[in-house]
Amino acid sequence: MKLRLMLWLLGLMLKRALRRKARFRELLGEMRGLDWGIATEDLTIARHYRMSPQGIRVGSGLPVDLDLELRFEDEATAIQVLKKPTQQAFLDGMMAGKVRLVGDSGDLQKLQRLLKHL
């Protein structure tokens, strides 16, 4: 339940940043959008975000056409990593086998650059 709420609030924060933060809009415009999602490995909790300079759409589930997916071993691991989403936290999780990245790691770096401006 807690992870579902966190992911829902993340969608609201992304939409708010697009409206209010010029640097966020500028970075998103430079990358021409990013489609990404977060889920547990068993897909019981999954949410995707389609971000473009024109707007941000959020939905449940993970469509197959996403640029980047962050898959977490379980809900507790996801909450732990997402509370402090540093590059080191993701690397530690990947080394331990608790976090799996599906897609290009360059997209993860773009996402982290965007999330700094929330």
We report the CATH number of the domain holding residue 11 as: 3.30.1050.10
pTM, two decimal places? 0.90
**How high is the pLDDT of residue 10?**
94
The domain containing residue 83 runs over which residues? Answer: 2-115
Is the separation of the CB atoms in 35 and 48 below 8 Å? yes
What would the two tokens of residue 109 be? 């770096």
The residue among 12, 53, 25 whose CA lies nearest residue 117 is 25
What confidence category does residue 28 fall into, taking pLDDT thresholds of 50, 70 and 90? very high
Q: What is the mean pLDDT of residues 28-35?
A: 90
3-state secondary structure (DSSP) of residue 96:
helix
Domain count, the chain: 1
d(C-alpha 46, C-alpha 86), whole Å: 21
